């Protein structure tokens, strides 16, 4: 619920979910908008990520809406809302002890 990767199912997953509030901290303080949008979209396969256990959200978002049409504009809009949310929950990089 807090985006820290420690939800109720985290213990049963093969790969622990990352702390989504520390994306920028893990990248030297920079939040990589385009990279995160690509990860969420999921249509570009990244071999290092292994199997596709999570939904390919780009396909989900591209399903027809309202009048039966959807386009890349709708997909991009939905992706960027998620990216903006993730950017908004970033915490500052912790100082070294």
In this predicted model, what pLDDT tens digit does every residue of 49-63 receive, in sequence order?
A: 555 565 566 666 666
Structure tokens at 20: 């989504």
- 94 pLDDT above the threshold of 90: no
Sequence-distant (≥ 6) Cβ neighbours of residue 88 within 8 angstroms: none
Range list of β-strands (E), the chain: none
Residue position matching structure tokens 């249509």: 43
Contact 24, 94 (CB under 8 A): no
pTM of the model: 0.69
Closest CA to 88 of 8, 21, 10, 35: 21
Q: Residue 97's pLDDT band (boundaries 50, 70, 90)?
A: very low
- What pLDDT does 41 receive? 79
């Amino acid at each position: 619920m807090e985006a820290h990767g420690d939800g109720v199912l985290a213990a049963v997953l093969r790969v622990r979910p990352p702390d989504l509030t520390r994306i920028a901290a893990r990248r030297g303080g920079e939040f990589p908008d385009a990279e995160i949008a690509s990860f969420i979209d999921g249509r570009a396969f990244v071999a290092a990520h292994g199997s596709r256990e999570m939904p390919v959200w780009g396909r989900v978002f591209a399903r027809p809406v309202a009048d039966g049409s959807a386009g890349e504009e709708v997909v991009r809009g939905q992706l960027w809302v998620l990216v903006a949310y993730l950017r908004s929950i970033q915490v500052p990089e912790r100082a070294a002890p």
